[in-house]
Structure 1
Amino acid sequence: MDPVLAVLAVFAALMLAGLGIRLIYIARAEPRKRMLHAYSQQVGLALVPEIVPELSSRIYRRERAGVVGSMVGLVPGVALLVLTDGSQNPWNGLVVLVAMTVGSTVALIGNDSRSAFAPVAEVPRLARSASPGLADYVTPLDRAFSLGLLGLATLGYATVLGVIAINPERVFDDVSVRTILWPAGLLLALAAAASLVTWAAANALLGRGQPAGTYIQLAWSDAFRSTTLRSLVGIPGIIAAVSSCVLFLSLSEAINRPARGSIGEILVGSFTIMGPVLFVALLSWSLTSMRNRNTTHYLRRLWPETAVELDRHRARGAVDDQPDADNRTKTSA
């Protein structure tokens, strides 16, 4: 058996086992309580006793959907590598991680969108003076970074195509160009398609109402919607960045032992550097997007008084003392 395929099979089995254990673990009451508390701190809203059961159930369904989505995405990701000989290069294993990430995100979006598109009873509800837009839920940096990564990935792929076409010093004579280009090209096409799909999905979600009988329910609805839209907007950028990583790292592996000072050595050096740089940029962006200024962006746009009070409490170091959910600007709702 091919060593790479053996490693890939072991990795897939371990991931499925780990995700299965996670699925069983989060079904318990105590982990669900911890997940809800962590999410409450993340979005800056207090846990009001009367809606805790509903929130706990919703958080559990979100987490369960994410795990199941990762498990579903793992299978076609591995199958794609095996059927198309993508396993010949170890770096193409990143395709599996992308498939898991996309599967998890799509499952989360589907779970969160289900309540938004479900029919609601004709009961008295709060109404906003103006419908919130994408900018009220997602920071400009998140949107710009995702589209910027897609643009850079497209530029990088076009540049590599040009270099291969020119074939300086015939460094690509002994290289299977198809094996190098198809995984990155497939991911880049998927990223471009994802940018259109996510734009349409975000507009469809924003076009739906948020049935709520109290300001507490409406604020929590905004929190969940913000999380969903932030995940949605990030999909094209994640896929595009991994596409570039796969492309550069595959090329650095393909050009074997180039002569010193040759074009091939320069290409290998640049490819070897750019892959990790892009990966670090993607990781940094992922960590940055989880900062309080990002996760509570919706509060600053839709519930400014609550955001001010939250900042005041955090500045005093009161991590567990969260602002009262009723103390908010009702005119913005």
Structure 2
Amino acid sequence: MNIDPETVRAFSGAFLLAMLVLCIGLVVAMSSKTSAYARADRFSLRVRLPYGTTATRDSVARRGRVSSLTTAITMLVTTVVLSPLLLTPVAASPAFPIIVVIPLLVATGFASAVVNVRERLFRPAPDAPRVARARALGAVDYLDRFRLVLPWVLAVAAALAFTALALQWVRQPARVDDAFAAAAVFAAVVSVVVFAALPAVERLVLTQPQPASDTLELAWDDAFRTTALSALRLSAALSAWLACALALGALWLGADVLFSTFASQVPTWGLIALTFIYPSTGRRLRTNLYPEWLRRPVAPEGSPA
């Protein structure tokens, strides 16, 4: 069923307005110092790290507030920058929300990395004791191999999907959905940029100093570093997934009307799944990152506690 382009444009305008209101609300909410402590406490539970001291809790809350506020402001600025798209033919495309969401999600991922590079969690006094890792750590020390490899697997899948889309476009262009195809091309361009920048930005995060006075402070810094690296991988995985899903959607929507609902929902399902794989609210660290006194052997499955 064809929808009037002006109706689609109106829905696009309403979507963008809702995004602006949401982003403004997030900026206001993340500005609160009181809520920063509540978010810090939840983060502490998820990463399974105690504070140790009140000063550590204050530092974690401050760092979390800066990170959350930066992300919210990045979302707001990106949404404002994308607003002129309403004046272009893109606004009349059913894929407009996805076209807006792609740079929004990518920008927030890189904003997390910027905070990690610029902000220091702890600032020990010059005469205070210092601790450091015995060796330089790489991304594999912070994220398991599945999370490291997944974006590249999705990139390969996207390349294969685009190959199929290109072949179909040459053979039967009438059976390709133009709106989804255009959105897929946009996602692919964003994905190429993200994957090209990923190694350099990731290296920049990993080479930042980690001033800490004890192993617990070092573990806390690693917790925020893990979150930043996870956000970067999420940006890459999201852009590759959307390029793949939109390319396949362009084929399905053009092939058979029975696939319309399914094809239009696949990108959203993938987005939701990836946010669980790369959570931004903290997750248990890899065992080697915890202080020795916090490490616990894992009992075999089915054994008594």
Amino acid at match of 2:188: L
Residue among 82, 90, 93 paired with 1:89: 93
Amino acid at match of 2:71: G
* Gaps in structure 2 of 5+ consecutive residues: none
Cα deviations by residue, 1:227-265 (Å, 9 ceiling, x for unpaired): 001111121110121223333434555x4xxxxxxxx43
Task: Give the distance between the partners of 1:19 and 1:77, measured in 2 at CA.
Answer: 13
Amino acid at match of 2:278: S
Task: Give the distance between the partners of 2:192 and 2:199, measured in 1 at CA.
Answer: 11
SS of corresponding position for 1:160: helix
Q: Does 1:185 align with 2:185?
A: yes
C-alpha spacing 1:152/1:14, structure 2 compared with 1 (3 Å): same
Amino acid at match of 2:198: T
C-alpha spacing 1:197/1:142, structure 2 compared with 1 (3 Å): same
Q: Does 1:11 align with 2:15?
A: yes
1:160 alignment counterpart: 165
Task: Give the distance between the partners of 1:9 and 1:141, measured in 2 at CA.
Answer: 38
Q: CA RMSD in A?
A: 3.2
Whose Rg is larger?
A: 1
Deviation at 1:275, TM superposition (A): 5.3
Contact 2:40 2:60 in 1 (8 A): yes
1:171 alignment counterpart: 174
Deviation at 1:16, TM superposition (A): 1.5
C-alpha spacing 1:304/1:278, structure 2 compared with 1 (3 Å): farther
Could you tell me the TM-score, scaled by structure 2's length? 0.83
2:133 alignment counterpart: 128
Residue among 29, 32, 35 paired with 1:31: 35
1:195 alignment counterpart: 195
1:330 alignment counterpart: none
State the aligned residue count: 294
Q: Does 1:71 align with 2:59?
A: no
Residue among 21, 44, 53 paired with 2:25: 21
1:244 alignment counterpart: 244
Contact 2:44 2:50 in 1 (8 A): yes
C-alpha spacing 1:10/1:22, structure 2 compared with 1 (3 Å): same
Identity of aligned pairs, percent?
A: 19
Could you tell me the TM-score, scaled by structure 1's length? 0.77
1:222 alignment counterpart: 222
Task: Give the distance between the partners of 1:275 and 1:244, measured in 2 at CA.
Answer: 13
Amino acid at match of 1:171: A
Deviation at 1:201, TM superposition (A): 0.8
C-alpha spacing 1:207/1:29, structure 2 compared with 1 (3 Å): closer
Deviation at 1:126, TM superposition (A): 1.4
Cα deviations by residue, 1:282-313 (Å, 9 ceiling, x for unpaired): 42232133499x82233x1322745644968x
Contact 1:68 1:104 in 2 (8 A): no
1:286 alignment counterpart: 275
2:111 alignment counterpart: 107
Task: Give the distance between the partners of 2:280 and 2:205, measured in 1 at CA.
Answer: 24
Deviation at 1:92, TM superposition (A): 3.3
Deviation at 1:269, TM superposition (A): 5.4
Contact 2:155 2:240 in 1 (8 A): yes
Contact 2:154 2:237 in 1 (8 A): yes
Contact 2:150 2:237 in 1 (8 A): yes
Instruction: Please identify, of 24-33 and 93-102, the stretch whose mean Cα deviation from structure 2 is larger.
Output: 24-33
